[in-house]
Structure 1
Amino acid sequence: MSVEKVKAFFKEYGIEDKILEFETSSATVELAAVAVGTKPERIAKTLSYRLKDSSVILIVAAGDARVENKKYKSLFGCKAKMLGFDEVQAEIGHSVGGVCPFAINDGVKVYLDESLKRFETVFPACGSSNSAIELNMEELEKYSSAIAWIDVCSY
């Protein structure tokens, strides 16, 4: 199970106890906000895309942010093409609803969107549809092994 992979990943840093697991689903921004007890915009959603060279990337953005195709194309040189539901588990290592930038498959590059910087802390998922962790921006950057902060969203 993906949450176990994420727990093992965070155990290396001694913070596996920070993972929150819920009795209810946190598979969508709205459900996660209710489960955590915060505003939807503080949920750090992780979106998966395929680039024109067939490589896969993740973009972590604020819960209220939307990827703007013009900005995306300007940065990545192609139209934004999200992975299909049936591709996510194999390509990323986590299922839809629990996709996060931690303990992912080798070769998947992670980018953090500037929309997150409005908040002191955010709540990304932890590999399952009923988990999250509260991290500040420095922690998110460190644990996600992000390539860069980017600006591809509007909110």
Structure 2
Amino acid sequence: MATVSSTDRVREAASAAGLSIEIVEMPASTRSAADAAAACGCSVAEIVKSLVFLGATSDDVLLLLVAGDNRVDEEAVAARIGEPLVRPNGRLVRERTGFAIGGVSPLGHKPETRIFIDEDLSRFETVWAAAGTPNSVFRTTPDDLLRATGAIRLKMTA
């Protein structure tokens, strides 16, 4: 049985959610928000940062989809979701999400992943998100991303 690539998993998840996306493979890394913005020709704010945490109590994977210009206030987010956040290492991120840091997509996660989307992303008509590898991205609208991921809208800053 062939292994499904990370980008194929993202493409399949998007299709299953009724989201039409085009995955773009960039010649340079899109690992950081600044790199992605330069490659996509948009502002850093229009990049969706996919930040992985674990719930300190639940041990659930917590995926925060954050506007590229925002810095997450971990204490405020923890208070809003009801449990402290724990930062996993790169090995654990890959084990629990199937994606390497720098390529974590909003789509294609296991069902036990709890996803939260930064309410500040709604400032934009379109945004760019990682598509499973450190140099692949896709463009979508914040509302379509919200629907496709089943995320909960959340204020990520203080």
2:69 to 64, 67, 72: 64
Aligned alpha-carbon RMSD (Å): 1.6
Q: What is the TM-score of this pair, normalised by structure 2?
A: 0.88
Task: Report the secondary structure of 1:133's partner residue.
Answer: strand
Which 4+ residue blocks in structure 1 deviate beyond 3 angstroms? Answer: 11-14
Residue 90 (structure 1) shift = 0.9
Identity %: 26
Q: AA paired with 2:142?
A: M
Residue in 2 aligned with 1:78?
A: 83
Decide whether aligned partners of structure 1 residues 34 and 55 sit closer, same or farther in structure 2, where only a CA change above 3 A counts: same
**Counterpart in 1 of 2:44?**
40
Aligned pair in 2 of structure 1 residues 82, 14: CA closer, same or farther (>3 Å)?
closer
Contact 1:49 1:56 (C-alpha < 8 Å) held by counterparts: yes
With structure 1 as the length reference, what TM-score do the two structures score?
0.89
Deviation at residue 14 of structure 1 after TM alignment? 6.7
Partner of 2:35: 31
User: What are the ranges of 5 or more consecutive residues in structure 2 without an aligned counterpart?
Assistant: none
TM-superposed CA distance for 1:73, in Å, is 2.6
Paired residue for 2:115, among 110, 115, 118? 110
Map of 2:10 onto structure 1: 6
SS at match of 1:78: coil
Report if the CA contact (8 A) 1:49-1:80 is conserved: yes
Alpha-carbon distance, 1:82 to partner = 1.9
* Partner in structure 2 of residue 153 of structure 1: 157
Structure 1: runs of 5+ lacking an equivalent:
none
Q: How far does the alpha carbon of each residue in 1:4-34 deviate from its partner, in whole angstroms, 9 at most, with x for none?
A: 2112223443724x22111111111111111
Q: How many pairs align? A: 152
User: Cα deviation per residue 1:39-74 (whole Å; 9 max; x = unaligned)?
Assistant: 111100111111122111101010011111331131
Q: Hey, what does 2:25 align to over in structure 1?
A: 21
